[in-house]
Amino acid sequence: MAASADPAPVPTRWAGATDDDVIRALAARDEEAVRELHRRYGRAVYALAFRVGTTSADMDVQKAFLAMVRQAATAPQGWPDARLWILGTAYQTLCKSTSPE
């Protein structure tokens, strides 16, 4: 039996939206924006969690995305690619998770 091809991606309201658009929606507490940010950056944040050496990657990645939601209103505006802010926020959160309390 031949393997089937991946289905075409389902168009969402985020098709063509910049990271800045998603972050602005995140600041307005849009749940779909959280999902979209995770879809775009979830793998990178998980990789960062393992690189930083967290002991509970799943929990720490959730904390990182929660920090992004909380800080979205203060994120720099006008960036078509806000990767620096997203991964920087994740990194700071993940480092706090690995430091002794």
Helix (H, G, I), strand (E, B) or coil at 95: helix
Query: What is the pLDDT at residue 92?
Result: 94
Query: What is the pLDDT at residue 76?
Result: 87
Q: Which pTM was predicted?
A: 0.81
pLDDT along the chain (101 residues), means of 10: 55 83 93 93 95 90 94 85 90 84 55
| List of domains in the chain | 19-98 (1.10.1740.10)
Query: What is the pLDDT at residue 7?
Result: 56
Q: What is the residue whose two structure tokens read 């307005």?
A: 28
